[in-house]
Structure 1
Amino acid sequence: MSKKTFNIIGWIILLGMAISWIWIGYSSWYLLLLPMASISFSINDGSIKKIANIKHISILQAILILFTFAVSVVIVFGLLQLANYLINDIFHLTGGVKTLSVIIAIILSLYPVKFTFGSVVHKIMDTTR
């Protein structure tokens, strides 16, 4: 399969998730579909080949990555709980404004993880080269 096909597969998965989330609501299937879309995009841009560097990671670096991942999950969970509290209890938003606020909150809560977890993984991968 060509790399462009994986790009198209990734976008189809993401668009299907977005449409079904709006139409049906949240489903636990998204926990499986999102990594599949991410892997498709990784195959498309060639970054999946960089996984070979994982063999050169020490135990301490692997523990650091796992710890950073756990901290990142805690940060996202805390930010989502804060956004839920603000949207539901403080501002009492309803309807389309609430939906838009939830989507914006989800997107904004992922950025600290991108910077914390991404920078640690990037530094570790640079040291293994």
Structure 2
Amino acid sequence: MSKKTLNIIGWLLLLGVGTSWLWLGYSSWYLLLLSIAYISFSINDGGIKKLGKIKQMTIPQVILTLFAFVVSVAIVFGLIQLANYLINDILHLTGGIKTLSVIIAAILSLYPIKFTFGSVVYKVISNLSATR
């Protein structure tokens, strides 16, 4: 497949998930579709080729990466619970404002993964590239 086709597939999946989430609500199928879109974008920009470096990782690097992932997921889960508490119990939002607030909170809650997990993975990959 060409890179342009993979990019179009990724965007169509993202738009389809976003539209159906707004119209139908959340479904666990979205996790699969988002993963497929991510893989499509990764193949498009050459990120899949970097997966070959996993074989070169040492045990402490694997443990550090897994620990960073667990911490990132815990932070996001805590932030989502905090946002849920604020939206429902403190602010008592309803209707469209609540929906918009939930969407914004979900998006903002994902940024800690970008910073914590992303920086650890970048550091590990740069160490692998430097030792090579």
Normalised-by-shorter TM-score class:
over 0.9
Aligned AA for 2:117?
Answer: F
For 2:37 and 2:103, how far apart are their aligned partners in 1?
A: 19
Query: 1:24 matched to which residue of 2?
Result: 24
- Partner Cα separation in structure 1 for residue 125 and residue 108 of structure 2: 26
SS of equivalent to 2:110:
helix
Q: State the secondary structure of the residue aligned to 1:37.
A: helix
The Cα shift of 1:113 comes to 1.1
Within a 5 Å distance, the mapping from 1:3-18 to structure 2 comes to 3-18=3-18
**Which residue of structure 2 lines up, in the alignment, with residue 37 of structure 1?**
37
Q: How does 1:105-124 map to 2 (within 5 A)?
A: 105-124=105-124
Provide Cα deviations, 1:12-64, integer angstroms capped at 9, x if missing partner: 11111011101110001011111111110011111111111111100111111
SS at match of 2:116: helix
What residue is the counterpart of 1:57 in the other structure?
57
**Residues 56-91 of structure 1, C-alpha deviation per residue, up to 9 Å, x if partnerless?**
100111111111101111000000000000001111
Give unmatched runs, 5+ long, in structure 2: none
Q: TM-score, normalised by structure 2?
A: 0.95
Question: Aligned pairs, how many?
Answer: 129
1:98 matches 2:88:
no
Q: 2:25 aligns to what SS in structure 1? A: coil
Residue type matched to 1:78 in 2? G
Q: Which runs of 5+ in 1 are unaligned?
A: none
The residue type equivalent to 1:12 in the other structure is: L
User: What secondary structure is seen at the aligned counterpart in 2 of 1:63?
Assistant: helix
Q: Percent identity?
A: 72
In angstroms, what is the RMSD of aligned CA positions? Answer: 0.7
Matched to 2:5, the amino acid is T
Q: What amino acid is aligned across from residue 96 of structure 2 in structure 1?
A: G
Code of the aligned partner of 1:39: I
Question: What is aligned with 1:68?
Answer: 68
> 2-side partners of 1:31 and 1:50: how far apart?
23
Q: Secondary structure at the match of 1:27?
A: coil
Runs of 4 or more off by more than 4 Å in structure 1? none
